[in-house]
Chain A
Amino acid sequence: MEQIVLFSILNGLVFGMLLFMLSSGLTLIFGMMGVLNFAHASFYMLGAYFAYTLASRVGFWPALVLAPVLVGLLGALVERHGLRRVHRFGHVAELIFTFGVAIVIEELVQLVWGRPAKSYQVPAALDFPLFHLFGSAFPAYKAFMLLVSVAIFVFIFAILTRTRAGLIIQASLTHPGMVAMLGHNVPRVFMIVFGIGCALAAVAGVIAGPVLGTFPGMAQVLGSVVFVVVVVGGLGSLSGAFVASLLIGTLQTFAVALNVSVGNVLMAVGVPAAASAALHDVWKVTVAQVAPILPYLLLVLVLMIRPTGLFGTRET
């Protein structure tokens, strides 16, 4: 049991921090421009594919830096020449635009790299078990993933709260008009934030590609959960995204690890065992089976009880 708890916490942390890297960019972009970027997970996928190609040419470590930079530049271009033009037609147009970008990126990825999953492997230097405990191994690469994501979290927080640039970004979030009056180029700030958000998603892609698989469906698989994270945490709130990421990460791993059925849970909350016959099909479903829908259940609960999200200030 201790083994399952310990490894579930570790796996939950790794997955949660990965979600945070994706959701931090998404929530910043939303906070600033008021638009949910449907293409965000596509930039995560691009990060993985760029890194896969670069890693085979120049090695994993340069790819870890180069791929996010390239994706960040691409993101900035999309904002400068696409989103900014569409902006004047309102939020609906922006939403549809990002939706279109997501589809275009997925199709392009399939055109360039093909449909089968790519064999993007963990770099040899990190391909060893960090420690063995109770017979199972914790791979060094996962520790590295955790390290990178924590470093990025600290970095973003430091920039946003301790630097002048962060001051301007935070001010642009709430008072774009005033910031512009003070002589700052607000559209450029938007572009930079969009680019950095995409670059963060790409970092997540680079480090997650070898573990979660690099295939054209990877954006779809993770994309929806990232939206849940952002809404649960509160739209535009970075600390909310952080807490929600870890919450959903650990929630999912623990749900899988526990051998509890819906019947057990219902009994625990006082539903009489006699109901088991009537609810036979539901009764035998294990929590592990429904693990992937738990985040959405959480989403519904949060929207019902606290529509602003855990740390948000505005209604979603």
Chain B
Amino acid sequence: MRKLKNVLLLCLTLAMVTGLATQATPADPIKIAFVDPLSGPFAATGENGLNQFKYAAEAINKSGGMLGRQLEIVGFDNKVSPQESLIQLKKVIGDGIPFVFQGNSSGVAHAISDAVQKHNERNAGNRVLYLNYSAVDPALTNDKCHFWHFRFDAEADMKMAALTDVIAANKNIKKMYIIGQDYSFGKAVADGAVAMLGKKRPDVQIVGNELHPIGKVKDFSPYVQKIVASGADAVITGNWGADMVALAKAANDGGLKVPFYTYYAASDGVTAAIGAAGVDRIRLVHESHPGNPNAPKALSEYITGYRKLHPQNDVNQPRVHTALNMLALAVKKAGTVDVDKVAAALEGMEYTNLSGDQVIMRRQDHQLQMPIYISVHTNKNIQHDLDASGFGLSLESKVDRDKATQPTTCKMQRPS
């Protein structure tokens, strides 16, 4: 009888041990939330972003994943609305997902950043990390900075500094027109342009500084008329998505032949829409080598691989690759998915990105420091075109990391 009892006890212990063992088996994937528009006017931008995340995650999974676990990117549709984003963020937290990526619209970014900060301060055991791969309002890493926000794109002022360097060198430009979407990012671009042009080229006159509602304008012809009437020699715009396509089309139709200095006038249908009319006229400031001419080998292979999967779409955000890989490295270094430890590991991390540049996550404000590239829309010598249109971006100039860097007002509070 006693023997039987012992056997039973042994069985029970064994069952418990194996039970515990299966629980600890790193079989279930590490989920990563992607909160961006997957419907509505900006769905094209969000969908392409999600695909780039899945593509980058697949490569990481093939080489072993994070801590031996696979990555799983889960899309959440926020319709570029701050309110909807907060609902989605609740879902993310409810599902126990520790990492949140978001990029489209700084308006949304502010909402998420605030909510994440408040949540983390109140819920020490259940924190989330906000990884911002595209929202470039400088305030996010200045006055509004906090420990659980990291930015992997160059903020608007870093880009504006590079753009204004190019503009300052062009003596043909005497009158500048600034047009943008009416929200924090559009305003940041306008303020940056006015301040930096004023410093570098005080002789350039700002003949127009206009904000229009985001995603609401049907026809940009009246705006183009105003630009023409102002006699501007060049235009600066931070427009993206459908607003950039429509502005470019209206400029073509209205016979506006001046150069455009832009943040986002490429891919997701914009390059195809601009077509021949934008050749040597549209310039773009971004964080990566544009792929032409002589793309770095790693970037070239990455673009080619993505095109095979998505023939109509482009790798317009190589920073997605940087962000996800830096996160994977940080998790590896921390040896856990604990948010505070991963965040600490990310601080000051160095990484060589697809363009072959050494980037570094500045501890002070969590803004990734990187070189800035300026390229021009053309169809000459294009190996990697955009929108499968035959047109693409060709490198014109590169501003080194040390020159592109901007000061910050951030006073980082770290959890003790």
In the bound assembly, the distance between CA atoms of A135 and B245 in angstroms comes to: 23
- Contact between A11 and B225, CB atoms less than 8 A apart: yes
- Contact between B216 and A116, CB atoms less than 8 A apart: no
* Interface residues in B, total, Cβ within 8 A: 45
Any chain A CB within 8 A of the CB of B44? yes
- Contact between A119 and B221, CB atoms less than 8 A apart: no
- List chain B residues, Cβ under 8 A from A11: 219, 221-222, 225
- Contact between B211 and A289, CB atoms less than 8 A apart: yes
- Contact between B222 and A253, CB atoms less than 8 A apart: yes
- Taking CB atoms and an 8 Å cut-off, the chain B residues in 214-233 that contact chain A are 215-219, 221-226, 228-229, 231
- Contact between A139 and B229, CB atoms less than 8 A apart: no
6 example contacts (A-B, Cβ-Cβ < 8 A) are as follows A11-B221, A115-B44, A119-B389, A141-B253, A253-B221, A256-B223
Any chain A CB within 8 A of the CB of B242? yes
- Contact between B222 and A256, CB atoms less than 8 A apart: yes
Do A139 and B218 form a contact, CB below 8 Å, given A119-B272, A217-B43? Answer: no
- List chain B residues, Cβ under 8 A from A110: 43
- Taking CB atoms and an 8 Å cut-off, the chain A residues in 269-294 that contact chain B are 286, 288-293
Any chain A CB within 8 A of the CB of B68? no
- Contact between A3 and B218, CB atoms less than 8 A apart: no
- Taking CB atoms and an 8 Å cut-off, the chain B residues in 245-260 that contact chain A are 245-246, 249-250, 253-256
Any chain A CB within 8 A of the CB of B268? yes
Any chain B CB within 8 A of the CB of A178? no
Any chain B CB within 8 A of the CB of A260? no
- List chain A residues, Cβ under 8 A from B224: 136
Contact pick for B41, options A14, A121, A217, A288, CB 8 Å: A217
- List chain B residues, Cβ under 8 A from A293: 213
In the bound assembly, the distance between CA atoms of A12 and B210 in angstroms comes to: 20
- Contact between A215 and B245, CB atoms less than 8 A apart: yes
- Contact between A212 and B218, CB atoms less than 8 A apart: yes
Which residues of B approach A to under 8 Å, CB–CB? 40-44, 47-48, 182, 210-213, 215-219, 221-226, 228-229, 231, 242, 245-246, 249-250, 253-256, 268-270, 272-273, 275, 312-313, 387, 389
Which residues of A approach B to under 8 Å, CB–CB? 3-4, 7-8, 11, 14-15, 110, 114-119, 121-122, 129, 132, 134-137, 139, 141-142, 210-213, 215-217, 220-222, 225, 252-254, 256-257, 259, 286, 288-293
In the bound assembly, the distance between CA atoms of A141 and B250 in angstroms comes to: 12
For A110, give the chain B residue with the smallest CB separation. B43
- Contact between B246 and A212, CB atoms less than 8 A apart: yes
Contact pick for A136, options B42, B218, B228, CB 8 Å: B228
In the bound assembly, the distance between CA atoms of A213 and B313 in angstroms comes to: 18
Contact pick for A212, options B212, B219, B275, B312, CB 8 Å: B219
What are the 10 closest A-B residue pairs judged by CB atoms, nearest first? A137-B255, A117-B269, A217-B41, A119-B272, A256-B222, A136-B228, A292-B216, A116-B44, A115-B44, A116-B269
- Contact between A257 and B222, CB atoms less than 8 A apart: yes
- List chain B residues, Cβ under 8 A from A225: 218
Do A257 and B226 form a contact, CB below 8 Å, given A136-B255, A289-B213? Answer: yes
- Contact between B219 and A288, CB atoms less than 8 A apart: no
- List chain A residues, Cβ under 8 A from B210: 286, 288
In the bound assembly, the distance between CA atoms of A212 and B245 in angstroms comes to: 9
Within the complex, the shortest CB–CB distance from A291 to chain B, in Å, comes to 8
